[in-house]
Amino acid sequence: MGYRMYVELKKENKEFEMYPLCITTIEKELVSGGQAIGVFELDKDLIISKTNQRKVMARQVYKDKATLKEVMENYAISQRFQFRVDRSNTVSYALLCMSEDCEWRFKASSINKSELFKVREFIDNHTCPFKDKVHEQRQASSSLIGGMIRPKLTNHKRKYTPKDIIDDVKSDLGVDISYMLAWRAKEKTHVVVDGSHVKSYYTGTFISASTLDGAGHILPLAYGVIDSENDAVWTWFFEQFKIAYGDRKNMCIVSNRNESIIKSVSRVYPHVPHFACIWHLWNNVYKKFKKSHVKLSEIYFSMAKAYTQAEFDSLMEKMEKVDIRVKEYLELVGYEKWARLYAPVNRGWTMTSNIAESINAALVSAREFPIYDFLEEVRKMFGRWNCSNRK
């Protein structure tokens, strides 16, 4: 369709502006005279921007690759099959059926290296056995499920547990997902790490990383026993954690002010915010400035949890009047490390490392056991918790 025809149709008030006009000069040179300017062919290929597109066919144009990927994930779920990525980069996206001998294939690529992606080839014919079309869907990703359940989270008072998500996905999509996948769809990506001493004959330190699931229950993520807390051990722990869980959007780590933890997080997760447990930080203030800790306690905790700049500044003025040294100490630590207002990601209610402290408290007696028996007790306890949380 040429530019001249587009203008003539607009003059006749045919509401033709509902069709996007995409002009390119990359493939065709502008020439003098009455020749039309080259345009993307849009006769049947309206640009698709919504991810709830049900019908997929060749020549469709999508606003970007991310939209196309989500549409194909939805399509695979609705058609009860699984695909594998054959090629994926900034200019192309190709899929094949999970079955090696199946003829099903999908190819799309960028239009003139723009964000627009066009379906170039789509053979929607499965020649694989039906047994390959399983109910446990790899295309049912946590991000896809997160988008599906987002409208159900508008009421902040509602408890929407991973079990509820599993039931809703089964009802809406007809597929089964694991508890971990359901948790990841609603996770807060807050990781709390801590260590506590093992008191058996063979001494060591129990370290753990945990978070809260969608219902507010403790969800252990990783744990182990080390000889001592040092830079090398904590770096190894976070490296293994990163292999298992990756680097997630809006992720943050909360811990005490252990120097080895601070160094290791900066090495392994350089772009992930590392927050201080406000209770451990207050204990440091108490040790340094004992004379004024009684008056400052209420001011400090209120300031850490403040939501507005006016409230924070007002409390800081009060703190300065009581003991300016405390103000200077907290400035040196960095407001972004302990104050909710300055946190670069949504810290929510995870202001302390109480999650880890609760785990340590539950293992007080077990820490007297030999290491093998201690780890077996940890495994059993976490198993009981996870089983109970699934109900």
Give pLDDT tens digits for 48-68: 988 888 889 999 999 999 899
Find the range with the poorest average confidence among 19-23, 159-163, 285-289: 19-23
Q: Distance (Å, rounded) from C-alpha 107 to C-alpha 120? A: 6
Q: Is the pLDDT of residue 272 over 70?
A: yes
**Mean of all residue pLDDT scores within the chain:** 77
Q: Which alpha helices (DSSP H) does the chain contain, by range?
A: 3-11, 65-78, 142-149, 162-173, 179-186, 231-245, 259-268, 278-288, 293-304, 309-322, 324-333, 335-338, 354-362, 371-389
Can you say whether the dihedral through the CA atoms of 83, 84, 87, 93 is positive or negative? positive
Helix 142-149 to helix 65-78 angle (10° resolution) is 90
Q: Is the pLDDT of residue 31 over 70?
A: no
Can you say whether the dihedral through the CA atoms of 150, 154, 159, 164 is positive or negative? negative
Single-letter residue type at 85: V
Q: Distance (Å, rounded) from C-alpha 236 to C-alpha 211? A: 20
Q: Distance (Å, rounded) from C-alpha 160 to C-alpha 151? A: 12
Q: Is the pLDDT of residue 95 over 90?
A: yes
Contacts of 7 (CB under 8 A, 6+ apart): none
Q: Quickly state the pLDDT bin for 391 (edges 50, 70, 90).
A: low
Extents of the domains making up the chain: 47-132, 142-186, 189-251+361-391
Q: Distance (Å, rounded) from C-alpha 146 to C-alpha 369? A: 42
Q: Distance (Å, rounded) from C-alpha 65 to C-alpha 73? A: 12
pLDDT confidence of residue 389: 74
Find the range with the poorest average confidence among 3-7, 290-294, 344-348: 3-7
Q: Contact 67/140 with Cβ under 8 angstroms?
A: no
Give pLDDT tens digits for 119-162: 999 999 888 764 444 444 444 455 555 555 555 544 444 555 66
